[in-house]
Amino acid sequence: MTKQEKAINLSESAQVDQQSVQPFPRSRKVYVEGSRPDIRVPMREISLDDTPTDFGGETNAPVLVYDTSGPYTDPNVIIDVRKGLADVRSAWIDARGDTERLDGLSSDFGQQRLNDAELAKLRFAHVRNPRRAKAGANVSQMHYARRGIITAEMEYVAIRENMKLQEARAAGLLKEQHAGHSFGANIPKEITPEFVRQEIARGRAIIPANINHPEVEPMIIGRNFLVKINGNIGNSALGSSIEEEVAKLTWGIRWGSDTVMDLSTGKHIHETREWIIRNSPVPIGTVPIYQALEKVNGVAEDLTWELFRDTLIEQAEQGVDYFTIHAGVLLRYVPLTAKRVTGIVSRGGSIMAKWCLAHHKENFLYTHFDEICEIMKAYDVSFSLGDGLRPGSIADANDAAQFGELETLGELTKIAWKHDVQCMIEGPGHVPMQLIKENMDKQLECCDEAPFYTLGPLTTDIAPGYDHITSGIGAAMIGWFGCAMLCYVTPKEHLGLPNKDDVKTGIITYKIAAHAADLAKGHPGAQIRDNALSKARFEFRWEDQFNLGLDPDTARAFHDETLPKESAKVAHFCSMCGPKFCSMKITQEVREYAARIETVDVSVEEGMREQAERFRQEGSQLYHKV
C-alpha cells in the first residue's frame, strides 16, 4: 500500500460522485407497486410541455422510460456510499426459507483479507455475514420457476418490462407502432409474471440476482425482453482507486448500463468489489480467473482448481451476480487458432489455453464444471459462459475454433440446466455484417435459445478511436436477430483505458443499438418514446426534444452552440435550416392553410399562386440571409 493509500480511510472519506446523483431535467422518479408493498419498481417519468393551439394548450402526457440509475437520481433518497444502498430483497429471500446466514466468510482468501489489519482503512465497513442455501436446497430463480413458483423477483421484472404499457396506450402515447420482424422470438403484447416464469424455466431468460446482493433491483436478460447493455469498469496495474471505480459504476448506470462487470486486475480486487456491490442497484458480473491469476502472481501455469474454487466462493459470498467462466476453451481447440491473424484475444481464453498447454491436460474449468454448478446454485450466481476463442479480427470470424467452442458451450449449458442454474452465452467479437446472422443462428441452435451476450460485434477493423461506432452497427444487427445483451465498446477500445466521457459515449451508443433492435423486433411499447420525441420536434417544443433524448445534456449543448439565446428554445425553426427553410415549419403552414381551404385541390392551386406572389415581393431571390 502506498503512503497516500495508508492515509486514506475510505469508511470516513468516500463520497458519491455528484454528477451521478443529479436528477434528469423535467424528470422524476416514480415507483410502481406490485402485489406486496415492498415490490416497488422504479421508472423515470419525463414531463412534457403543452402543445400551443388556437384553443389553448393541448396536454401532452408524461412519458415513462426504463431507469437503471437506482436511488441515485431520486432526490428523496440520501446517498452515502460508505453505508451502501438500501436492502431491496432480503425480506423476499427470508420468506422462501431455504437459505441460512453463515457465521462469517467461508473462503480462505476472504478470511485472509478480513484479518489483514493493513487493509482496514480500505475495507467497506458495513458488511453483512453472507447467506448460502441450506443443505440440499437450490436457491436459483430457474429452480423456483421450474417448480411453478412466481418469485417477487419475477413479478418485479414483469412490471419493469411492461412499463405501464396499458396506461400508455390509453393516454394515446402509442397511436402507431410498426410491426416488427422478430426472427422467431415470441414477444407477447404484455409481459406478465407468468410469462417471465415460463421463460426462466425454459432457459430463454435469466434474472441475475445473487442472494448476497440484496441491494439489486431485479432485471431480466432474454431474447423476448428488452435488449440490455453491459458496461465494464475495473482497476488495473496502471492505477485507479476504489472511489474512482464506484464513481464509474454510478456514472455508467446513470446513462443506462443494465449490468456492470468489474474486470479489476490491479491491487485490492477483493476490497474494490465489495464497495462496488454494496453500492450497485444493477447486477454485477466478474471474470473470476482474473483474480485467481493475480493470486498466483500472474503465472497461469500455477493456477489450480482448489484456488479457483475458493475464488468462486469468495466472490459468491460478496454478492457477484454472474460469473464469466471460460470452460469451453478445450485443449483440442487451441491448435485451431494457430493460423489466425490475431490468435486468442480473450484474456480469460489465453490464460486457460496457456494452462492447458503447460500441463497438457484438459481445462480444469471444464472437468470440474459440475462442481462449479453446485457452487452457483447455492448462491444463485448465473453463468456467463465465456467465449475464450472469440475472433479478434474480421479475418478470423466464424472459424473452426470459434464455432467449436460454441458447440461446447451448448453442451455446458445443458449441464447447467440439469442443475437448474441460470446461464447465458458470451459471443464475439469481430464479425463482418454478412456473417452476423450466422453467429446468432448457430448460437440459438447450439445453446437451445439460452440468452446470447455479445461484445459488439465490431463490423470492421479500420477505425481505431471509433470502435464504439464499428461495434454499435453490429450490436444493433445482432440485437435485432435475437441477442439478449450487448457489451458496450468505448472509443478507447484497443487504445487505452476509458475515462468518464468515453464510458458515457459507449453507453449511449449501445442504448441506441439496443433500442433500435427493440423497434425492429416489434417489442410492445418500444416506439412510445420515438413518437413523443417526433411530435415534440414537429411542434418545436425544444426542451421536450432535449429531455426525451438519451442524452439531454449533449442535445441542449449542440443546439446552444448555434442558437444560445433562451428565445431560440421556443423558435419555430432549427439551427440547421433557419427560419426560411425549416421543412417542419413549412409543413405546419401548409397544414394550417389547407384547413382553411375547402378542398386539397383548391388549397394547392391557391397556395401556389400566393407563394409565387410572395417570391416576387421578396425580390425573386432564391436564398435569403438568416
Q: Is 379 annotated as a binding residue?
A: no
Q: Is 346 annotated as a binding residue?
A: yes
Residue closest to 202 by CA, chosen among 229, 225, 228? 225
Alpha carbons 226 and 165: distance in angstroms, whole number? 13
Q: Is 582 annotated as a binding residue?
A: yes
Phi, psi for residue 33 in degrees, rounded to 5: -85, 145
Q: Peptide bond preceding 37: is omega within 30 degrees of 0, i.e. cis?
A: no
Q: Is 577 annotated as a binding residue?
A: yes
Grid coordinates standing for 11?
A: 469508511
Q: Is 390 annotated as a binding residue?
A: yes
Q: Is 326 annotated as a binding residue?
A: yes
Q: Which amino acid is at 376?
A: M
Q: Is 80 annotated as a binding residue?
A: no
Contact 530, 519 (CB under 8 A): yes
Q: Is 479 annotated as a binding residue?
A: no
Residue closest to 320 by CA, chosen among 282, 269, 285? 285
Q: Is 574 annotated as a binding residue?
A: yes
Q: Is 533 annotated as a binding residue?
A: no
DSSP annotation of 288: H
Q: Is 140 annotated as a binding residue?
A: no
Phi, psi for residue 27 in degrees, rounded to 5: -120, 150
Alpha carbons 196 and 483: distance in angstroms, whole number? 17
Tracing cell 433491483 back to the chain, one arrives at 217
CA 621 to chain centre: 52
Q: Is 348 annotated as a binding residue?
A: yes
Q: Are strands 221-222 and 228-233 parallel, antiparallel or unpaired?
A: unpaired
Alpha carbons 422 and 205: distance in angstroms, whole number? 8
Q: Is 387 annotated as a binding residue?
A: yes
Question: HEC states along 138-153?
Answer: CCCHHHHHHCCCCCHH
Alpha carbons 89 and 280: distance in angstroms, whole number? 13
* DSSP conformation letters of 458-521: BS-SS-TT-HHHHHHHHHHHHHHHT--EEE---TTTTTS---HHHHHHHHHHHHHHHHHHHHHH
Contact 347, 402 (CB under 8 A): no
Q: Please say whether the dihedral angle defined by the alpha carbons of residues 233, 301, 379 and 202, taken in this order, is positive or negative.
A: positive
Annotated binding residues for [4Fe-4S] cluster? 574, 577, 582
Binding site, by residue number, is 232, 261, 290, 326, 346-348, 387-390, 426, 430, 453, 494, 574, 577, 582
Annotated binding residues for substrate: 232, 261, 290, 326, 346-348, 387-390, 426, 453
- Binding positions for Zn(2+) are 430, 494
